[in-house]
Structures are given as C-alpha cells and as structure tokens.
Amino acid sequence: EADIYQTPRYLVIGTGKKITLECSQTMGHDKMYWYQQDPGMELHLIHYSYGVNSTEKGDLSSESTVSRIRTEHFPLTLESARPSHTSQYLCASSESGLDLGELFFGEGSRLTVL
Amino acid sequence: SQQGEEDPQALSIQEGENATMNCSYKTSINNLQWYRQNSGRGLVHLILIRSNEREKHSGRLRVTLDTSKKSSSLLITASRAADTASYFCATVGGSNYKLTFGKGTLLTVNP
C-alpha cells in the first residue's frame, strides 16, 4: 500500500469558491506531481515539484496553483472554482534519483463545481 | 501531446482467458511503465521496463518492449474478475522528469 493520502475524496462546491486539495506522503519522496483526469481519459500533468520550494507547471495549462513548503505536503489551490474545473485530481510521488521510476498515487480528489 | 496510445480502447473477455493490451508511443524513451486503475480510484504501478530490456515478467503479467516499433504489450494470463480495471501505459522520455500517460484500455473480465 502506498503511503500517499489525498483529501477530500469528493468535493461539490459552487462557482467562485476557493478550494484546496490536500496531498501528503510519508515516504520521504522529493518528487511530487499533480495530474488531472477526466472520466475515461488520460492523465495530464498540471504541476510537479522536485523538492521543498520547487514547483513547476506541467503540460496542461491549469488555473490552479501549488506550494511545497514541506517535503511531505503538496497542496493544490483553486482561487475561484468554475464548472470547467470539474475533474478528478490525482496526486503522486516518486523517489529521488536521475531515472524516473514508479509513481505512487493517492486515491484522487473528485471535484464537481456547480 | 499524447505519448502513449493504448489499443484496444476496451476489451471484454471471460475469466481464465488471456488479455493482451498494446501501447504505441512516438518519441524515444528511458522506460515504459504499466499502471492499473480501478474505477474512481488512483493508479497502481504494475511493472516497469527499461529501454534496453525486451521482456519482463511479474506474476501473471508479461510485458514486452520493441523500441524499433515504439510499441509495448501487456499480457495478463489466466484473467480473473478482479482484473477488471483500466490499464494505462506511461513513458518516461529523454527529459526524464515526467510520466506521459495514454488513454488506457478498459478491461472487463466476465465471471
């Protein structure tokens, strides 16, 4: 079992609300990632981090922001949610090293914006 | 841009049969990985094959990699109803900083 946790699992909110999706891992991994996945579709990388105070945008443009103040914690924030943000958000982490190996995923946060 | 492309998009078989899923990609890779996702859940890593490897086994899983054809296949032998899930291939390219996923194959194993 992977030691990476996401909360909340499900969130239904109204347009314009600010939301934060939490992601924590207890494996001491330096690399962490946020992917966005629509039903039946592929995963798109929206943010990644190589360590504390390091964050980068991924391939898919996203209005969300992330922070990495502690190794174990990589929260994602939407300042003003819109219906187009409705999706599943998956957090993952991997070990340090030159070669990118296995990703450990959380269970996901399914966001619905009304 | 999408790197991995799985084929078929959906596959339905009977318990006990073998399931084969294929993945094609476009650019050179460092490694290729297969993941499984149960409906509404996170992904679970199944197997990783490096670019200098041709075949790898793990339990009932067998993965092959043909870098000349830029393709990989995942074989699940003696399938079980519990194998019902979506299966994704993902590639790590030369930049080595991210995994790029395909759209996945939805496997249904009927009891």
Q: How far is B12 from chain A (nearest CA, A)?
A: 16
Residue found under tokens 């199944």: B46
Mutate to test the interface with B, among A56, A102, A104, A107 (most CBs of B within 10 A): A102
What CA–CA distances, in Å, run from B82 to B40, B49, B64? 15, 24, 23
pLDDT at A61: 80
CB–CB contact A108 B44 (8 Å): no
Q: How far is A79 from chain B (nearest CA, A)?
A: 25
pLDDT over threshold 70, residue A1 = no
Chain segment B62-94, per-residue pLDDT in tens: 999 999 999 999 999 999 999 999 999 999 887
pLDDT band, residue B1 (cuts 50/70/90): very low
